[in-house]
Amino acid sequence: MNKILIVKHLKETYQDHNQKFKALDDISFAINQGEILSLLGPNGAGKTTTVSIIGGYLIPTSGKVILKGQDITTTSKRPSIGVSFGGEMGFYRNATAKQNLKFFADLAKVPFRKQNDEVNRVLATVELSNVANKKIGEFSKGMVQRLHIARALLGSPSLLLLDEPTSGLDVEIAHTIQQTIKNLADTGISILLTSHTMTEVEKLADKVIILGAGKIFYTGTVSGVVNLANSTTQKSLDNLEDAYMALAPKLRRK
Ligand SMILES: Nc1ncnc2c1ncn2[C@@H]1O[C@H](COP(=O)(O)OP(=O)(O)OP(=O)(O)O)[C@@H](O)[C@H]1O
């Protein structure tokens, strides 16, 4: 398997009111081409810290981030990573989808002559071509979320970091976005997905990492999580949400 991302022995220690706080303690994992890896864990487990380091927003205290064979631990420029933190912010509400994406294509260093085609390509990928000339202020939450993914796709990155991509969306809209995410992975893009929605993870993730108190508690498949919960609790659980709930007490900081 072609490893797109390798994360090696990541540690992150925050300085908080003269006290050191270990947010990440020896995190290692890899993502293969076209794979969807989901990062799970309770609030404060270290998911955002991990994603921020991979995205180049934070330098780890120690450890390495290798993207397509290149050590990118301390570089902030990552043309091969598209990031979508989602939410209401991040776009000019009085400008159209196309105008917004052209601005971000410029930031993503897409050559000027290619920007129009690139913006049309990413809009088509997330099925927003028909509203390309509509102002963002008129967009629904689901459309804004799709636009975030479109923005992350500018410049054809090999890896997408998707933070809670369906948060706050109704089930039907969430389902269509999940299908888009699956389609992207099928084209060979690797995806790191953080989510608190277990049915979403169950549907999308090829591999799951469960973080607890800054450490890796589990790496494997969704069915592996269920098996682990069953052998730990002597129950016959059959879904990720119940399995995760059974394991949750073990994930808390002491
Ligand atoms: N800048 C900071 N300074 C001090 N502590 C921090 C800082 N950022 C995060 N932390 C702490 O590090 C730990 C990990 O935080 P992080 O945001 O990575 O967790 P998370 O798993 O993403 O949680 P959530 O699900 O709530 O988003 C938490 O205990 C948090 O309070």
**What does the block give as tokens for 83?**
């990031």
Mutate to test the pocket of ligand 1, among 48, 57, 193, 195 (most ligand atoms within 8 A of CB): 48
19-32 and 36-40 strand pairing: unpaired
Residues found in the chain: 254
Averaged pLDDT, 6-31: 94
Q: What is the mean pLDDT of the chain?
A: 94
**47 close to ligand 1 (CB < 6 Angstrom):** yes
Distance of CA 183 from the midpoint of ligand 1 (Å): 31
- Report the pLDDT averaged over residues 183-207: 96
Q: Which two tokens stand for residue 154?
A: 């500018």
- Å from CA of 64 to ligand 1 middle: 20
Q: Does pLDDT of 41 surpass 90?
A: yes
Q: What is the 3-state secondary structure (H, E, C) of the chain?
A: CCEEEEEEEEEEEEEECCEEEEEEEEEEEEEECCCEEEEECCCCCCHHHHHHHHHCCCCCCEEEEEECCEECCCCCCCCCEEEECCCCCCCCCCCEHHHHHHHHHHHCCCCHHHHHHHHHHHHHHCCCHHHCCCEHHHCCHHHHHHHHHHHHHCCCCCEEEEECCCCCCCHHHHHHHHHHHHHHHHCCCEEEEECCCHHHHHHHCCEEEEEECCEEEEEECHHHHHHHHHHHHCCCCCCHHHHHHHHHHHHCCC
Predicted pLDDT of residue 42:
92
Q: Whose CA is nearest to atom 16 of ligand 1?
A: 46
Quick: pLDDT tens for 130-172: 999 999 999 999 999 999 999 999 999 999 999 999 988 899 9
Token duo for residue 62? 């120690």
List CB contacts of 11: < 8 A, sequence separation 6 or more. Answer: 22, 24, 25, 26, 27, 60, 61, 62, 63
Predicted pLDDT at 17? 81
Per-residue pLDDT band for 249 (boundaries 50, 70, 90) equals very high
Domain residue spans of the chain: 3-80+157-251, 92-156
Is residue 86 pLDDT above 80, yes or no?
Answer: no
Please report which confidence band the pLDDT of residue 207 belongs to, taking 50, 70 and 90 as the band edges.
very high
Domain 3-80+157-251 fold: Rossmann fold (3.40.50)
Give the Cα separation of 57 and 209 in Å (integer): 21
Ligand 1 center–CA 254 separation, angstroms: 15
Specify the ligand 1 atom closest to the Cα of 46: 18
Average pLDDT over residues 103-122: 94
Cβ atoms of 181 and 193 within 8 Å: the answer is: yes
pLDDT confidence of residue 253: 76
**What pLDDT, on the 0 to 100 scale, is given for residue 6?**
97
- The Cα–Cα gap between 220 and 59 comes to 27
CB 69 within 8 A of CB 5: no
Check pocket membership of 41 for ligand 1, CB cut-off 6 A. Answer: yes
- Using an 8 Å Cβ cutoff, are 63 and 11 in contact? yes
